[in-house]
Amino acid sequence: MSIPTKVAGFLACLKFDNPLQLIVSRLIFRKSRFVAHRWNGLQFIADQEGGDECGLRPCLVEGMYNPFIQATGIFQSRAPRNVADFGANAGGFSLLFAVPTVKIKKLVAVEMNPLTHARMRLNLLTNFGPKAIPINAAVGGCLMSLNVPFTSGGTGDRIHLSRSADDSSFSVPMRTLDDLLNAEFPGQKIDLLKMDIEGCEWDVLETGQCERLRDCRHLLIEVHPHSGRGITDFQKAVKPYGLELREVRNAGAEDVFLFSQNANASSEPGANH
């Protein structure tokens, strides 16, 4: 690990509510995998071996998604909101909504890696209770069973990974966007769908199993270039579902984009569900 990375990690510790505990864990108890974090009254764990901090830190203390979420108006709304988090990792993005200023009706968080999902499940149920629905699945273009390598996890986990060294793996269901949203939000609007599924967003669009995008008021997505395609191609692909690209950017998250239904009037703080 480079010196700048270590310094960045140290400075990030200071932004949590228990900085001394985190710094001591880094300096003295370096072999301890699971480290308790506190932030804005929340409590959750991070697996240092599984790279959870690489997902939790940008979301919670570095403001990676803040400009995009602010643009949706969800933080200012008094109505309970439906939120879906596809590619949830240890739950960093979802935890942004576990604060008193946000009213959550239902939060569905989907994570492919079973071990990462177990930590995400603990983190979300601890802070949301029954409003959180943690799901262990991959998001793709079809319904099938998928063999996922036995690893501790990481923010770069994706469907097309090589098998683990000892050829061991988990069997995990792959589910489509429509299958997940139909099951968890039948006949309902989804106020915000966040997707970071490491390139599989193209599979979702190509197979057409994404009609429920029409019911997503906002889509917050990390677009991964694939086969020469980029954000312009993605913009064209989601336009038939009523989603328009917003002029919201974050220099610290160059591949993250916000799409909204009827973008010129996207906040809808009083919208009915």
Please list the helix, strand and coil fractions of the chain in percent, rounded to the nearest 5, in that order.
Answer: 35, 25, 40
Residue 160 neighbours by CB distance under 10 Å:
8
pLDDT digits (tens, 9 = 90+) for 183-205: 999 999 999 999 999 889 999 99
> How far apart are alpha carbons 206 and 1 in whole angstroms?
39
On the question of pLDDT at 273 being above 60, the answer is no
- Could you say which DSSP state residue 62 is in? S
Q: Rounded mean pLDDT of 229-233?
A: 95
Amino acid identity of residue 44, one-letter, is: F
Q: Rounded mean pLDDT of 104-119?
A: 96
Specify which of 123-127, 225-229, 259-263 reaches the highest per-range mean pLDDT.
123-127
Per the CB < 8 A criterion, the answer to whether 197 and 86 are in contact is yes
pLDDT of residue 1: 53
On the question of pLDDT at 253 being above 90, the answer is yes
- Domain-wise residue ranges, the chain: 48-265
The CA–CA distances, whole Å, from 204 to 48, 96, 223 equal: 31, 26, 12
pLDDT of residue 170: 83
Q: Rounded mean pLDDT of 166-178?
A: 85
> How far apart are alpha carbons 4 and 9 in whole angstroms?
9
Q: Please give the residue that has the higher pLDDT: either 224 or 3.
A: 224
On the question of pLDDT at 254 being above 60, the answer is yes
Per the CB < 8 A criterion, the answer to whether 163 and 149 are in contact is yes
Q: How far apart are the first and last CA of the chain?
A: 47
The beta-carbon contacts of 145-148 under 8 Å, at least 24 apart in sequence, are 145/171, 145/172, 145/173, 145/174, 146/112, 146/171, 146/172, 146/173, 146/174, 147/171, 147/172, 148/112, 148/113, 148/114, 148/172
CATH number among 3.40.50.150, 3.10.580.10, 2.40.30.170, 3.90.230.10, domain 48-265: 3.40.50.150
Q: Please give the residue that has the higher pLDDT: either 206 or 28.
A: 206
pLDDT of residue 112: 93
pLDDT of residue 159: 64
